[in-house]
A and B are shown apart, each in its own frame.
Chain A
């Protein structure tokens, strides 16, 4: 049998061994925790982003899916011979590839040159009128793209903002830009309503000056979704009490800029392959309800996906007052 000294020595040795083991274990746990915590945090952040809808398609991407909705693919070309009105034409392309190329070219072009060319092209477009718009697309000697893509991610939103500033510096510049104010972020987490399953048959009159008319489909969508969603709508503009359909690009562009300055989330001018222009607006419920029109224009607001059969019909909401 052990003496008490021997047993005490053994006991103390075992206690020390236990303490050392415990320290080692503690260190291992700390090391493991340090490695696991960032991974867990990243996983949680990923889940939060995914659940929050940050990884779902954005409003800008939805806009591209609208009929004739290659809103952002317009390229203004400036011909070598600027004296001829026909030399300046507006080339409308529908492929995303062109957008990419155009954007790349835009990046490489000096800003002054771009501004000059845009102004020039716009002036020529003014003088050439409708003929120039319907003229066949000509081979452009030099293309100066001024297209800005709609915001697709937070990063591109920032670059769009910068582009919008450049546009503002060149008034009258062409292009169907989606405009964002400095500091604006696209409402990427909100539902965007761009169609509503409601059709209207029958003759409808064009809006008179000062009227802002909502298509029934838009009205029903607003009733159903209210302020819980944003709306992607297209505007048709009429002048002279509904007798003249406003289709000129520059006129629509100016109106889009005015509407944008009134507070819309985004505004743009669309052009389809047949040369038809219209304004597209990305607005909130209250912005849509309170769109302030010009006194010399009448406005028809509808969903881009409604089809051509949908047309403007009373009851009319004009700045919130039903007529």
Chain B
């Protein structure tokens, strides 16, 4: 059984607050980076990740056990992010200083979470791709999800995810080549 699932069950059934703390500890960074690929802003992604955990704690939705706990959690997070984007169609322009601050925050987050230099280079290149490509690459490369799980998180069919992944990889390759990296070596 997934650790996250057992922690969540402890919280939901017995009211053990440590359960939700453990979930936050294990899934916070990955969720924030994934949500960043959707909303394009790490601060907003952080708020949305917090909203995701609050939703777990208040509504206490039942994990139907179809996939892993992480897949389920990311699906909830994605739905919250999509709602957010629907409500905030127009993204306000951030001042230059703040943009630089955000970039540095993202850098530190990815350094903490990804650790390996290769992955950090990949992630930086990914950030220049369209949101859909970022999402699918994040889920398959960095979260090691199967196409099926990625499809579940993204609310698409497996075939659609496979096709999206193919195009995303192609796009990433050209992006890496533009920046002087060799895709095969990464």
Q: A1-B109, A15-B54, A18-B58 are in contact. Are A8 and B25 (CB under 8 A)?
A: yes
A residues within 8 A CB of B50? 2, 7, 10-11, 14
Q: B38-73: which residues lie under 8 A (CB-CB) from chain A?
A: 42, 46, 49-50, 53-54, 57-58
Interface string of A1-24 (1 = CB under 8 A from B): 110100110111011001100000
B residues within 8 A CB of A18? 54, 57-58
State whether the Cβ of B9 lies closer than 8 Å to any Cβ in chain A: no
Asked if B58 and A1 sit within 8 Å, CB to CB, the answer is: no
> Chain B at the A interface: mostly helix, strand, loop or mixed?
helix
B residues within 8 A CB of A12? 17, 20-21, 57
A residues within 8 A CB of B105? 1
Count of CB-CB pairs between chains A and B under 8 Å:
45
State whether the Cβ of B28 lies closer than 8 Å to any Cβ in chain A: yes
B residues within 8 A CB of A1? 32, 42, 46, 105, 108-109
Q: Which one of A7, A14, A19 lies within 8 Å of B28 (CB-CB)?
A: A7
Number of chain B interface residues as a range? 10 to 19
Q: Which one of A11, A14, A19 lies within 8 Å of B24 (CB-CB)?
A: A11
Residue of A nearest to B106 (CB): A1
**Shortest beta-carbon distance, A197 to chain B, in Å?**
72
Asked if B24 and A15 sit within 8 Å, CB to CB, the answer is: no
Asked if A8 and B20 sit within 8 Å, CB to CB, the answer is: yes
Residue of A nearest to B49 (CB): A7
B residues within 8 A CB of A19? 58
CA distance A173 to B186 in the complex (A): 122
A residues within 8 A CB of B58? 14-15, 18-19
Asked if B17 and A4 sit within 8 Å, CB to CB, the answer is: no
Q: A1-B32, A8-B25 are in contact. Are A14 and B54 (CB under 8 A)?
A: yes
Residue of B nearest to A11 (CB): B53
A residues within 8 A CB of B54? 11, 14-15, 18
A residues within 8 A CB of B108? 1
A residues within 8 A CB of B32? 1
Residue of A nearest to B53 (CB): A11
Choose among A8, A10, A11, A12 the residue with the greatest number of B CB atoms under 10 Å from its CB: A11
Asked if B21 and A8 sit within 8 Å, CB to CB, the answer is: yes
Choose among A1, A12, A18 the residue with the greatest number of B CB atoms under 10 Å from its CB: A1
B residues within 8 A CB of A2? 46, 50
Asked if B57 and A15 sit within 8 Å, CB to CB, the answer is: yes
CA distance A2 to B21 in the complex (A): 14
**Shortest beta-carbon distance, A237 to chain B, in Å?**
85
B residues within 8 A CB of A10? 50
**Shortest beta-carbon distance, B42 to chain A, in Å?**
7
**Shortest beta-carbon distance, B8 to chain A, in Å?**
13
**Shortest beta-carbon distance, A285 to chain B, in Å?**
66
CA distance A128 to B155 in the complex (A): 108
CA distance A11 to B20 in the complex (A): 9
CA distance A12 to B58 in the complex (A): 10
**Shortest beta-carbon distance, A130 to chain B, in Å?**
94
B residues within 8 A CB of A15? 20, 54, 57-58
Residue of B nearest to A21 (CB): B58
A residues within 8 A CB of B25? 4, 8
**Shortest beta-carbon distance, A245 to chain B, in Å?**
90
Residue of B nearest to A3 (CB): B28
Q: Which one of B17, B42, B53 lies within 8 Å of A7 (CB-CB)?
A: B53
A residues within 8 A CB of B17? 12
**14 further contact pairs, Cβ within 8 A, besides A7-B53, A11-B24:** A1-B42, A1-B46, A1-B105, A2-B46, A4-B24, A8-B25, A11-B53, A12-B17, A14-B50, A14-B54, A14-B57, A15-B20, A15-B57, A15-B58
